[in-house]
Amino acid sequence: MTETHIPVHLSTSSVYPENAAYAFDVAQRLGYDGVEIMVWTDPVTQEAGALRSLAELHGLTIGAIHAPTLLLSQRLWGWDPWGKIERSLDLAAEVGAGCVVVHPPFRWQRGYAENFIEGVAQRQASWGVKLAVENMFPWRSGVNAMQAYLPGPDPRDFPYGDVTLDISHAATSGIDPLALAQDLGDRVSHLHLGDSFGSFKDEHLVPGRGSQRCGDVLEHLVSTGFDGVVSLEVSTRKMRTDVREEALAESLAYARHHLGQHDLPGAQPLRA
């Protein structure tokens, strides 16, 4: 066992369009420490009992619940944004996850955005589960950009107690993810690991296949005593099953290497 063991989890979003049961199975086979649950139309992602059973069956932990606050999940769990967050907090408490990942409000959700900062702090205190607000990015098309989020996409501008740092989102914003991690300091309580070339698309590439300083970010977490979870969040939806699993294995090996976890499951040599 390494001296510093930062858990590396697999987000269920990384196996989309496969379901949560498959995510637990492949995470165990490849050597991940646990799973992050993206609440989605897959009913298993919404049921604490089913998730606990899968975690027990595969000997894995559930490190985080990603609340259904994405653009494509607006209908899940009703239209009330705070209701979605509170159900996510309940789910996290029931499955033993220490973190709920949440996006800032869209700019058309003005009522929700008005007291978002205070509402996050109040609910985190009430539930005792970290509500880690994720860094987002402007929506861009060519030279045009639109600020889609309120109070804003960059968590450095707001007094959130806990933040999910997403490397791919930082790249899409034109922000150096290592600088973002350094600026946020110990407010970073969760990491979404994924690479990017910094295009206007949110790429979520396998780490090491883009141009971002993913390895430097991981090494920074080790050096600063990070006590959260690194969760792989990459896009594999167009990959065949065998290619997907090779990519997920490569991603785990990359994370293990830069976290100094050379003796842990999944730490096979990196590809040339």
CATH of the domain at 168: 3.20.20.150
Residue 250 lies in a domain: yes
In this structure, which amino acid lies at residue 172? T
Residue 270 lies in a domain: no
Burial of 75 (0-12, 13-18, 19+ CB in 10 A): exposed
Tokens of 12: 């269920």
Residue-level pLDDT at 4: 61
Residue 267 lies in a domain: no
Residue-level pLDDT at 37: 98
Residue 264 lies in a domain: no
* Structural domain of 91: 8-258
pLDDT tens per residue across span 167-226: 999 999 999 999 999 999 999 999 999 999 988 888 999 999 999 999 999 999 999 999
Tokens of 114: 């008005």
Number of domains comprising the chain: 1
Ordered DSSP codes for 192-244: EE-B----SS---BPTTSSSS-HHHHHHHHHHTT--SEEEE----TTS-HHHH
Residue 180 lies in a domain: yes
Q: Which residues 6+ apart lie within 8 Å of 37 measured at CB?
A: 12, 20, 45, 51, 62, 64, 65, 66, 91, 95, 97
Residue-level pLDDT at 1: 38
The rounded distance, in Å, linking the Cα atoms of 247 and 107 is 35
Number of H helices, E strands in the chain: 9, 10
Residue 272 lies in a domain: no
Residue-level pLDDT at 143: 55
Question: pTM of the entire structure?
Answer: 0.94
Residue-level pLDDT at 199: 86
The rounded distance, in Å, linking the Cα atoms of 112 and 218 is 33
Residue 3 lies in a domain: no
Torsion angle of C-alpha atoms 38, 44, 50, 56, degrees rounded to 10: -50
Tokens of 215: 């390895």
The residues of the chain scoring below 70 in pLDDT are 1-4, 140-146, 269-272
Q: Are 39 and 76 in contact (CB under 8 A)?
A: yes
Residue-level pLDDT at 114: 94
Q: Which residues 6+ apart lie within 8 Å of 85 measured at CB?
A: 67, 69, 100, 102, 123, 131
- List C-alpha distances in Å: 168 to 173, 201, 207, 211, 213: 9, 9, 10, 10, 11
Residue 44 lies in a domain: yes
